[in-house]
Amino acid sequence: MWKPTLPSPTTCPLSPRPPPHRSHRHRRPGEASTAATPPASSSRRYLLKEFPELLNSKGCAKVLEVGCGNGSTVVPILRCSPSITVYACDCSEDTLEKANEIVCNTQGVDAKDRFHPFLLDVSRENFPGWLFCKCCQSSDGKVVDLSPDSSHLYVRGKNSISLKEDQCCVGGIDFITMIFTLSAIPFNTISATLERCVSVLKPGGLVLFRDYGVYDMTMLRFLPHQRVGFREYMRADGTYSYFFSLDTVRELFHAAGLLELELEYCCVRSVNRKNGKNMQRVWVHGKFKKPTSQ
């Protein structure tokens, strides 16, 4: 793998962090403007190849997409199996509206009763109880008879959460997808974010992870004054961008109680057809499992 020489810390003075009360927005690059967002149907083509567990899932699998953005990850998941249900959260109402529009209007995708977007800032808020209530967590995932918690419901109507009368929650999540999400929240909130995600994951469930790796070309384009921490930068629009090493990912996910199944760099070199420049991309790919017994 290529390793460009990075500026030393002495030549990259740290900019002061924003005050703790400042609201941060964790969007994927390109989602600040709807026009700049690529169609969901043309995105995430690698997803099912890299995470075949989604294709091979048995029964009515439940997927939680954390930081769903414009729905580009949701579309191929819904397409791959008619028995999969996707719950998708994001911290932006506008982004959720756009994701709902794209997913519901994509040809070949039946989103009715299978796509449930909801408003949540996972870096600050706990997941709603209707995903996996505490009673069901303590009963090894067996759904018990309690009143449902309807907090955090965002998109109502045909995509609203519908629980049976004897259900208190959906019974937990089989797969959590975190695709270019953790890099977009402040690094000091990642540990708590992972703990929240693990809390709604069924024992034996998987976390499917892909995000920016150290030495990715976008890391090298940031200016010194945009650096706000170790491998952490802030864009002009106030969004964060962190670049992971394998060791950092391993430590974070292990601390959250997850078992490592796969963890590696994905390095891709391509050429920009417009300007002829080489693009050197580095991503981190990982799969982690929640133990069946704690």
Q: What CATH number did the domain enclosing 69 receive? A: 3.40.50.150
pTM of the model: 0.80
Pairwise CA distance, residues 37 & 76, whole Å: 17
Q: Is residue 24 part of a domain?
A: no
> Domain of 205?
41-289
Continuous H helices in the chain: 47-50, 74-80, 93-105, 134-138, 190-199, 217-221, 246-255
pLDDT value of position 52 = 95
User: How far lies 66's CA from each of 143, 247, 260, 278, in Å?
Assistant: 23, 22, 19, 31
Q: What is the pLDDT of residue 256?
A: 98
Q: Domain for residue 122, yes or no?
A: yes
In a domain, 31, yes or no: no
The answer to whether the CB of 84 falls within 8 A of the CB of 54 is yes
Residue 54 maps to a domain: yes
What total of structural domains would you count in the chain? 1
In a domain, 1, yes or no: no
Q: Is residue 29 part of a domain?
A: no
Q: What angle do helix axes 190-199 and 246-255 make, rounded to 10 degrees?
A: 50
State how far the Cα of 156 lies from the Cα of 177, in Å rounded to an integer: 23
- The pLDDT of residue 47: 92
* Nearest C-alpha neighbor of 131 from the set 97, 98, 163, 94: 163
Task: Say whether 40 sits in a helix, a strand or coil.
Answer: helix
Per-residue pLDDT at 59: 83
Q: Is residue 59 part of a domain?
A: yes
From first to last of the 294 residues of the chain, give the pLDDT tens digit.
444 443 333 333 333 333 333 333 344 443 433 223 334 444 577 899 999 999 998 889 999 999 999 999 999 999 999 999 999 999 999 999 999 999 999 988 989 889 999 999 999 999 999 999 988 887 654 443 333 444 454 444 445 666 766 678 999 999 999 999 999 999 999 999 999 999 999 999 999 999 999 999 999 999 999 999 999 999 999 999 999 999 999 999 999 999 999 999 999 998 888 888 889 999 999 999 999 975
- Phi first, then psi, for residue 42 (nearest 5°) are -100, 5
